């Protein structure tokens, strides 16, 4: 983590992977979530559109540190200030005039960098996404630290099909994305013109100017970026369960670079959600257990540890079954309610009956969640789900444990199962 000048009214310090609230404490705000590229709090997922480790020298889009940079060619020269210390691996250059990451930065402190993303391996806009758990929180804001260097290409530059951009968007609970931090290029700021260009001070002390700096806007007006990390903060009006922060970037050549760090979500934390209440809405229902879809078989991290109910480092069927048996809420509408039901109880009334069987049958062979018959979190209603429902058919968590069904009952259930499959197949 490296923080330079700050435009934020609320300053947050992320040190050694531990977040401490500085000026934020006076405003009674909490750190809801963060990702400092080395560790994270409340981050439920991270994804990126490309693997840049196979790109050519000086081309990059992703996370790395001086000590451990994933690209075999090392940190691109446009990101590395080699004026005092060899950061790029190509040697010390006292007259180096491009760079953001210098010898003053902790070599183990990771950052997200971008340089020459338009190259033989990629021709369009790239993206990266972070999802954060914001359940129960209000008065939200997002901040990050960003720096840029070089001569960027704007709309007035005919040499490329579109302007350089480095935009951040956000969405809450899957709604449409809106602007968080927007970028543009100051086309009129020329070294040889009245604007004088933007100044960049290298670690060795030399000052250089470059045309057309990158502008960054947190909603209060654009600011010219330079090689010093600056903190920007923007408030978010929406509340919900999941905040998605999306970066969209187009950085055309190796004579410019952008780096950022420390995505921090601040706000007023609500009551901690109950175990299994993944969306933080105050109950444990279908929407919660369906969050296992797409996560089964993943490791913790990067998947959020809240899904690993049995704490074995992997999100799997054991966690899904534990959620259903101990946490998933049921209510039969007749005064019986509680936590923990049976696999196959699609309507969560505490019992597995013909109502559940019919629901599964109507959705057999289709995509669906718990309420449609998916008992194992696969996201589809299949024979596995039908078999699980059949194993629990006639059972209830409300009454005393049921005795084994009579042979006639077993025959009826078996015929019903066959009818369900046959009917769905014909449809």
Q: Which residues neighbour 82 within 8 Å (Cβ) at sequence distance 6 or greater?
A: 88, 90, 91, 92, 93, 96, 99
Same domain, 228 and 190: yes
Same domain, 227 and 314: no
Same domain, 163 and 101: yes
Residue 74's pLDDT is 94
Residue 62's pLDDT is 97
Domain assignment of residue 93, yes or no: yes
* Number of independent structural domains in the chain: 2
Examine the fold and report which residue of 214, 241, 268 is the final residue of a domain before the chain moves on.
Answer: 268
Same domain, 254 and 300: no
Examine the fold and report which residue of 241, 268, 295 is the final residue of a domain before the chain moves on.
Answer: 268
Same domain, 230 and 345: no
Residue 422's pLDDT is 57
Residue 161's pLDDT is 83
Q: In which residue are the tokens 């338009």 written? A: 118
Residue 426's pLDDT is 53
Same domain, 17 and 78: yes
Domain assignment of residue 276, yes or no: no
Domain assignment of residue 1, yes or no: no
Of 104, 116, 217, give the one whose Cα is nearest residue 160.
Answer: 116
Residue 287's pLDDT is 92
- pLDDT single digits (tens) 244-297: 999 999 998 879 999 999 999 999 987 777 889 988 788 999 999 999 998 999
The ranges of the chain with pLDDT < 50 are: 1-27, 191-192, 194, 401-404, 406-411
Own/partner contacts of 398-401, CB < 8 Å, gap of 24 or more, are 398/330, 398/332, 398/336, 398/350, 398/351
Residue 84's pLDDT is 98
Return the sign of the alpha-carbon dihedral for residues 4, 7, 13, 19.
Answer: negative
Same domain, 339 and 218: no
Residue 12's pLDDT is 42
Same domain, 293 and 260: no
Same domain, 372 and 229: no
Task: Check which CATH number belongs to the domain holding 324 and give it.
Answer: 1.10.1330.10
284, 328 Cβ separation under 8 angstroms = yes
Report the run of H or E that residue 30 belongs to, with start and end: strand 30-35
User: What's the domain range around 264?
Assistant: 12-268
Same domain, 307 and 417: yes
Examine the fold and report which residue of 209, 238, 268 is the final residue of a domain before the chain moves on.
Answer: 268
């Amino acid at each position: 983590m490296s923080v330079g000048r700050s435009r934020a009214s609320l300053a947050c310090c992320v040190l050694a992977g531990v977040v401490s609230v500085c000026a934020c404490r006076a405003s009674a705000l909490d750190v809801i979530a963060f990702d400092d590229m080395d560790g994270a709090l409340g981050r439920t997922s991270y994804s990126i559109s490309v693997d840049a480790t196979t790109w050519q020298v000086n081309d990059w889009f992703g996370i790395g540190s001086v000590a451990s940079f994933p690209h075999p060619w090392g940190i691109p020269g446009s990101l590395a200030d080699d004026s005092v210390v060899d950061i790029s691996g190509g040697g010390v250059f006292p007259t180096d005039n491009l760079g953001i990451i210098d010898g003053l930065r902790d070599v183990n402190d990771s950052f997200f960098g971008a340089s020459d993303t338009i190259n033989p391996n990629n021709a369009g806009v790239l993206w990266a996404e972070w999802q954060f758990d914001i359940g129960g929180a209000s008065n939200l804001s997002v901040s990050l630290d960003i720096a840029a260097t070089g001569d960027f290409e704007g709309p007035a530059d005919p040499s490329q099909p579109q302007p350089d951009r480095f935009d951040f968007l956000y969405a809450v609970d899957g709604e449409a994305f809106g602007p968080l931090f927007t970028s543009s290029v100051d086309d009129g700021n020329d070294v040889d013109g009245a604007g004088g260009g933007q100044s960049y001070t290298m670690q060795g002390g030399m000052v250089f100017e470059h045309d057309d700096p990158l502008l960054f806007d947190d909603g209060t007006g654009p600011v010219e970026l330079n090689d010093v990390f600056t903190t920007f903060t923007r408030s978010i009006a929406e509340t919900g369960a999941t905040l998605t922060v999306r970066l969209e970037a187009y950085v055309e050549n190796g004579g410019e670079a952008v780096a950022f760090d420390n995505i921090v979500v601040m706000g007023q934390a609500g009551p901690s959600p109950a175990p299994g209440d993944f969306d933080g809405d105050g109950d444990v229902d279908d929407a919660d257990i369906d969050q296992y879809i797409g996560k089964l078989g993943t490791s913790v991290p990067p998947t959020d540890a809240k899904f690993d109910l049995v704490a074995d480092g992997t999100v799997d069927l054991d966690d899904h079954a534990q959620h259903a048996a101990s946490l998933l809420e049921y209510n039969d509408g007749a005064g019986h309610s509680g936590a923990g039901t049976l696999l196959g109880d699609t309507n969560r009334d505490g019992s597995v009956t013909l109502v559940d069987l019919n629901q599964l049958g109507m959705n057999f062979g289709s995509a669906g969640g718990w309420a449609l018959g998916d008992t194992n979190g696969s996201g589809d209603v299949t024979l596995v789900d039908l078999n699980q429902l059949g194993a629990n058919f006639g059972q209830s968590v409300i009454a005393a444990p049921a005795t084994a069904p009579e042979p006639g009952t077993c025959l009826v259930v078996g015929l019903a199962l066959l009818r369900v499959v046959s009917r769905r197949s014909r449809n």
